[in-house]
Structure 1
Amino acid sequence: MDVTYEGTKREVATDKGVLRYHEAGEGPPLLLLHGSGIGVSGWRNYRGNLEVFAEQFHCYILEFPGFGVSDPVDGHPVITASSAVIRFMDALGIESAAMVGNSMGGVVGVNVAMRYPDRVSKLVTIGGVGPNIFSQNPSEGTRLLQEFADGPTREKLVRWLECMVYDRSVITEERIEERWETASDPASHKTLAAMYGSAAFAAQQQMTANSDVPPYWSMMHKVQCPTLLTWGLDDRQCPPDMPMVPMRLIPNAELHVFPNCGHWVMVEAKEAFERIALEFLLRSVPVAGG
């Protein structure tokens, strides 16, 4: 059931603009970090899961800068999102929290965990994390994002949305219209183009080739917190060969793959994902030497 929380939307001022978020529940803090893509927002990623997680946690659905909800800031969206997590936690006085990250949100969570290990107690990722090993790069989903970023049309949006799921009936007319409305916002499209446009993609590839800085996924041995990698077996945005590297590099990682499920695990495998994620998040962490 798609639950709408009345009065959950909040905002907090930081030194780099206003961050907006949804808040619900009581208990230990849980940050829900959204992905990228066309017309995305934190609320649209997690509105269907908030009720369940709020029964056990004090939940915060953070809206990243540049996606049409929080104030935009200059810089690459993944980098600005990672710094926004720390700004958000500092502004609300959250010393450490568990995090759930969908796609780009998972990459953000990994980067925060590597740079600020004391701030992340546990991490659940939904697709997105790691390199393509056997699958094509860019993936089918990324190519469709690139086509939309280069020339937005409603038809291109529908093709990408259908690529996100195993069951196309999930892509309702209502979902299409709300995504199209947000995608038409200039700030939202600017962020999308900065990540997936042909020119930006070529520039990033060139920068990576000429950089002495290793890719983020090669440094995932620095992630100290227990990590649950979740994946859809039929993910065409981030194919299921990608978690092989993080599963090996992250010291305390485990992987769960959901059958008959695309990129939106929290939507298509909602009940199973919530059950498995909650079991992991509520599980006691063994004491060393105990």
Structure 2
Amino acid sequence: MDVTYEGSKREVATDKGVLRYHEAGDGPPLLLLHGSGIGVNGWRNYRGNLGVFADQFHCYALEFPGFGVSHPVGGHPVLSAVDSVIRFMDALGIESAAVLGNSMGGVVGANVAIEHPERVDKLVSIGGVGASTLNPNPSEGTRILQDFADNPSRDKLVRWLDCMLYDRALLTDELVEERWQAAMGADAQRAIEAMYGSKAFALQQQYLANSDTPPYWSMLHKVECPTLLAWGADDRQCPLDMAMIPLRLIPEAELHVFPKCGHWVMYEAKAAFERVTMEFLRR
């Protein structure tokens, strides 16, 4: 299926503002949740994959609040994103769905599955979920994001994009320009500061140190649905060892590792990722 930007754009009103999304296909519902980072949104994450999944599923690529497309709501981007998924499903009358999330989108999907298990039929997470046990924390990619959030520059954007990809031939001038223009939007800047800025990061660490609330990844045993963990073997944003915790804790988890691939599995290993994910979703 050929899916165009203009032809797939939709919006729905909720009690906390308008949520925008892209819709395509017919069949069982599939929510596609985007990641965080520089100049990110749902369309940029999934425009190359939407047509493939839309051949078998009714796809909804949700734009999270605060990333320059849907109405911002304030608060931490991950927490507001979890809430937005439930608001979105309620607004469209989607009782339950399969969920596919990239990086932060995978974390959001896992949190929805933990807090609202009846709403998630299957979960596919592209990196992101878990916690690193062997690599430095913050990761290389996160440190670059912190540098960018504190003082944005085009050079730092190029460094981060290089970190996302294994194949440097994919780091084109067009990709850099598109992400740079998107990152300069006021909402996009606020979102990356709220998630990766030095002040925000310090507050998050302080909160975790003084909070009785356990980290979300320690609750992954509550994810009841079948889960596919899709990971690039050369991911420098969310290193592969992060997958060990969700693989052990989620009762019905399986892991597929894509060779010579960085953080953006759906982009860099497009055909293989679509084949493996489609087989998992159609079981």
TM-score (norm: length of structure 1): 0.96
Contact 1:63 1:69 in 2 (8 A): yes
Moved over 4 A (4+): none
Name the counterpart of 1:159.
159
1:177 and 2:195 aligned: no
Give the drift of 1:7: 1.2
Cα distance in 2 between the residues matched to 1:3 and 1:20? 16
Give the drift of 1:130: 0.2
Name the counterpart of 1:85.
85
RMSD of aligned Cα (Å): 1.1
Q: Alpha carbons of 1:6 and 1:68: their partners in 2 closer, same or farther (altered >3 Å)?
A: closer
Give the structure with the higher percent helix: 2
Cα distance in 1 between the residues matched to 2:152 and 2:214? 33
Q: Alpha carbons of 1:135 and 1:108: their partners in 2 closer, same or farther (altered >3 Å)?
A: same
**Structure 2 unaligned blocks of 5 or more:** none
Contact 2:3 2:24 in 1 (8 A): no
- Which residues of 2 match residues 243-262 of structure 1 at below 5 A? 243-262=243-262
Name the counterpart of 2:43.
43
Name the counterpart of 1:107.
107
What whole-Å deviation, never above 9, does each CA across 1:168-225 have from its counterpart, x for those lacking one? Answer: 1112111111111111011111110010001111110111011100000001000000
Give the drift of 1:2: 9.4
What whole-Å deviation, never above 9, does each CA across 1:65-119 have from its counterpart, x for those lacking one? Answer: 0000000002100000000000000000000000100000000000000000000
Cα distance in 1 between the residues matched to 2:2 and 2:94? 28
Name the SS for the 2:262 alignment partner. coil
What whole-Å deviation, never above 9, does each CA across 1:244-289 have from its counterpart, x for those lacking one? Answer: 0000000000000000000000000000000000000000xxxxxx
The one-letter amino acid of 1:231's match is W
Contact 1:142 1:196 in 2 (8 A): yes
Q: Alpha carbons of 1:227 and 1:262: their partners in 2 closer, same or farther (altered >3 Å)?
A: same
Cα distance in 2 between the residues matched to 1:17 and 1:173? 35
Q: Alpha carbons of 1:96 and 1:271: their partners in 2 closer, same or farther (altered >3 Å)?
A: same
Contact 1:114 1:220 in 2 (8 A): yes
Name the SS for the 1:243 alignment partner. helix
Cα distance in 1 between the residues matched to 2:33 and 2:226? 17
What whole-Å deviation, never above 9, does each CA across 1:32-81 have from its counterpart, x for those lacking one? Answer: 00000000000000000011000000000000000000000021000000
Cα distance in 1 between the residues matched to 2:49 and 2:103? 16
Name the SS for the 1:132 alignment partner. coil
Name the counterpart of 2:96.
96
- Which residues of 2 match residues 129-168 of structure 1 at below 5 A? 129-168=129-168
Name the counterpart of 1:188.
188
What whole-Å deviation, never above 9, does each CA across 1:18-40 have from its counterpart, x for those lacking one? Answer: 00000000000000000000000
Cα distance in 2 between the residues matched to 1:215 and 1:222? 13
The one-letter amino acid of 2:160's match is W
Contact 1:2 1:47 in 2 (8 A): no
Cα distance in 1 between the residues matched to 2:137 and 2:74? 27
Name the SS for the 2:112 alignment partner. helix
Give the drift of 1:3: 5.8
Name the counterpart of 1:66.
66
Cα distance in 2 between the residues matched to 1:21 and 1:4? 13
The one-letter amino acid of 2:39's match is G
Cα distance in 2 between the residues matched to 1:30 and 1:88? 13
Name the counterpart of 2:272.
272
Name the SS for the 1:241 alignment partner. helix
TM-score (norm: length of structure 2): 0.99
Give the drift of 1:11: 0.3
Cα distance in 1 between the residues matched to 2:5 and 2:83? 27
The one-letter amino acid of 1:87's match is R
The one-letter amino acid of 1:258's match is F
**Structure 1 unaligned blocks of 5 or more:** 284-290
Name the counterpart of 2:7.
7
